[in-house]
């Protein structure tokens, strides 16, 4: 697979380029992106093959956990529901 480089101006975000990156993630591919301090490597956290690609790309052992970013508390509850509070 050929690497695609999408230059995005943070002051004027091109949503078409964001959509391209999102489509790559949906296909199970990896996306690199800058953060405040380092570059991140992202993939669909619910796609086992995509997650394996991150471990492989980083040369990271599978028992070394990864960070998962989520949009909001609703997504947290969907991915990891809290047990009921005893009443």
Domain boundaries in the chain?
Answer: 15-79
CB 47 within 8 Å of CB 54 = no
CA–CA separation, 60 and 57 (whole Å): 8
- The pTM assigned to this predicted structure is 0.79
Q: Note the pLDDT of residue 1.
A: 67
What is the mean pLDDT of the segment spanning 17-34?
Answer: 95
CA–CA separation, 54 and 40 (whole Å): 10
The pLDDT-based confidence of 3 (bands split at 50, 70, 90) is: confident
Torsion of CA 50, 55, 56, 58, to 10 degrees: 120
3-state helix, strand, coil in the chain (%, to 5): 35, 10, 55
Q: Note the pLDDT of residue 77.
A: 87
Which residue carries 């997650």 as its tokens? Answer: 51
Q: What is the pLDDT of residues 36-82, one digit of tens each?
A: 899 999 999 999 999 999 999 999 999 999 999 999 989 988 888 88
Angle at the Cα of 7 from the Cα atoms of 53 and 57, rounded to 5 degrees = 15
Angle at the Cα of 9 from the Cα atoms of 7 and 12, rounded to 5 degrees = 135
Q: Note the pLDDT of residue 84.
A: 81
């Amino acid at each position: 697979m050929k690497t695609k480089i999408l230059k995005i101006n943070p002051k004027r975000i091109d949503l078409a380029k964001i959509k391209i990156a999102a489509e790559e993630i949906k296909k199970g591919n990896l996306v690199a992106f800058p953060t405040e301090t380092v570059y991140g490597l992202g993939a669909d956290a619910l796609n086992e093959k995509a997650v394996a690609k991150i471990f492989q790309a980083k040369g990271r052992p599978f028992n070394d956990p990864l960070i998962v970013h989520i949009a909001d508390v609703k997504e947290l509850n969907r991915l990891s529901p809290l047990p009921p509070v005893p009443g």
